[in-house]
Amino acid sequence: METAVVADRIQFAFTVMFHYLFPIATIGLAPFIAWFAWRAARGNDEVARRASLFWTKIFAINFAVGVVTGIPMEFAFGTNWAPFSAKAGAVIGQPLAMEGVYAFFLESVFLGIMLYGRHRVSPRLYAWSATLVGAGSWLSGFFIVATDAWMQHPVGYRVASDGSIRLANIGALLLSPFAWWQYAHVVVGALVAGAFIVAGVGAYYLLAKREIEDGRYYVRLGAVVALVASVLIIFPTGDRNSADVTKYQPVKLAAMEGLFHSTNGAPLAIIGMPDTQRRELIDPVVVPNVLSFLAYGNFTANVKGLTEYADTLWPPVALTYYAYHVMVGLGTIFVAIAALAVLLLWRRKLTDFRPMLWVLMLAMPFPYIANEAGWVVSEVGRQPWVIYGIMRTADAASTNVAAGETVFTLIGFAGMYFLLGLLFMLLVLREIALGPNVEAHATREAEV
């Protein structure tokens, strides 16, 4: 593959994977903040009132970094992927335009009230604003996933005489079951992250023997939501995504599972290293027949292996395989952790049992890893296609942009994002260290 295309792909993957960290947190935390704000508006729940302000500060930092790192994504289609945009813009531009018009405005305008309006509006309007900001972030995620889902599984389009792709049916694109299951999986994945963040911060306070009342509230609420969300991530959403991949992207399925040869009653590989030279899974630990069951609901069904397809149609096998196994392995661990926590909660021991609090606190980064791994499975696994079965990634990169220019801007993004990441960590850790009982320090309101 040409250097320019490789540089474009690295730049897109790097910028979007960095960006994704922040929507994971905003989508995952938004329902918690709306819940806190409504509890605060309804009565004298002092802990919920503090929680709504504290988590809004964390949300705001995530939102700000999410916005600034999201702007380059929309424009990257035009700058780095001009032939793709010219060919398919009439289709993918539509959900992206709707994201701006219907979701991003909602988030941004009402965030103004959340950040600057606490002393200017009633608690009810504040709670409504939190709800609308949350709705905006979920809706924004939908339009982005719908765009990606169309590239994974194109529906509702026609090819015009000049070779460009036109939108024939916007309803088919927005209501595509493929998109809805993918979206459900993505938002539930973000919710797992949000729940582990809330529980993890609470666990930190309890371990540090401070903010006890707040810490208990966060740990309890976080543990319950974590259990519900991490079950939903496997069933039905994960299961339905696998079924869609089996049906529409069988090569991706084979790469995810490291299955080189078509097999009746295919085994599920738990551990193993795919070797594309020898075309086998090295040193595997497998559960017999389970892959056939997961893919087709039948223990003896035939699952197609990679060798059924020309290797020019293979995605990068190792990356897809490992990312998938990291995602699934972590997802299973999340269910176990959350189930144990809820069991302890039921026995009224959760907030005093320090080993569990340690686990919850240290678990915080792992939902991020699982979500990012999911992105890799989805987007690396559908290579070599940018639009599945229609346009190859190799033909999609701008030809009037030199590889050197892309490398230059990639280095620029890398440097900027490194500093941005440091600043983000500094600010978030500082908010957590200050805690929910510090009233608006250095506030915006004080100056308005």
Partner 1 sequence: MNAAAFVLLAAMIAMYVVLDGYDLGVAAVSPLVARNGEQRAAAMASIGPFWNGNEVWLIAAGGVLFALFPRAYASAFSGFYLPFTVVLWLLMFRGIALELRNHFTSELWRSFWDTAFTGASALLAVLFGVALGNLVRGLPLDAHGYFLGRFAFLLNPYALAVGLFALLALAQHGLAFLVLRTDGELADRSKRLLARLWWGVLLLYFATTLASLALRSAAAIDAPLRLAPLAVLSLLALGGVHWFTRVGKPGPAFAASGLFLASLVLAAAATMYPYLLPAFPAGSGGITIANAGPGPGGLGLTVALTLPGLAAVVIYSIFVIRRMRGAPRPTGD
Q: How far is the CB of 203 from partner 1 (least distance, A)?
A: 25
Q: Which stretch binds partner 1 (CB under 8 A): 206-214, 240-248, 305-313, 409-417?
A: 409-417
Question: What would the two tokens of residue 141 be?
Answer: 């995620």
Identified binder of partner 1 from the candidate list 44, 277, 312, 400, rule CB under 8 A: 400
Q: How far is the CB of 170 from partner 1 (least distance, A)?
A: 6
Nearest C-alpha neighbor of 365 from the set 389, 390, 333, 339: 333
Sign of CA dihedral 193, 251, 141, 227: negative
Q: 259: phi > 0 → left, psi -120 to 50 → alpha, else beta; which? A: beta
Which residues, in sequence order, are CB contacts of 271 under 8 Å at separation 6+?
283, 284, 285, 325
Which residues, in sequence order, are CB contacts of 277 under 8 Å at separation 6+?
none
Which residues, in sequence order, are CB contacts of 357 under 8 Å at separation 6+?
203, 206, 207, 219, 351
Q: Does 5 bind partner 1 (CB under 8 A)?
A: no
Neighbours of 139 (CB within 10 A): 18
Distance CA 219, CA 211 (A): 12
Q: How far is the CB of 211 from partner 1 (least distance, A)?
A: 18
Q: Does 385 bind partner 1 (CB under 8 A)?
A: no
Identified binder of partner 1 from the candidate list 10, 86, 333, 403, rule CB under 8 A: 86
Residue nearer to partner 1 on the CB measure, 83 or 329: 83
Residue nearer to partner 1 on the CB measure, 34 or 291: 34
Identified binder of partner 1 from the candidate list 2, 42, 43, 97, rule CB under 8 A: 97
Identified binder of partner 1 from the candidate list 92, 149, 229, 337, rule CB under 8 A: 92
Nearest C-alpha neighbor of 227 from the set 383, 381, 396, 350: 350
Which residues, in sequence order, are CB contacts of 92 under 8 Å at separation 6+?
77, 85, 147, 150, 151
What residue type is 293 in one-letter code? Answer: F
Q: Which stretch binds partner 1 (CB under 8 A): 217-225, 312-320, 376-384, 392-400?
A: 392-400
Q: Does 133 bind partner 1 (CB under 8 A)?
A: no
Per DSSP, the three-state class of 383 is: coil
Q: Does 134 bind partner 1 (CB under 8 A)?
A: no
Site for partner 1 in 147-186 (CB under 8 A): 160, 164, 166-167, 170
Residue nearer to partner 1 on the CB measure, 299 or 413: 413
Q: Does 79 bind partner 1 (CB under 8 A)?
A: yes
Q: How far is the CB of 264 from partner 1 (least distance, A)?
A: 46
Helix (H) or strand (E) holding 386: strand 385-387
Neighbours of 244 (CB within 10 A): 21
Q: Does 273 bind partner 1 (CB under 8 A)?
A: no
Site for partner 1 in 26-65 (CB under 8 A): 49, 60-61, 64-65
Distance CA 413, CA 420 (A): 10
Q: Which stretch binds partner 1 (CB under 8 A): 101-109, 206-214, 285-293, 297-305?
A: 101-109
Q: Does 321 bind partner 1 (CB under 8 A)?
A: no
Residue nearer to partner 1 on the CB measure, 250 or 421: 421
Question: Residues touching partner 1: how many (CB under 8 A)?
Answer: 77
DSSP category for residue 278: T
Binding mask 411-440 for partner 1 (x = CB under 8 A): -x---x---x--x---x--x----------
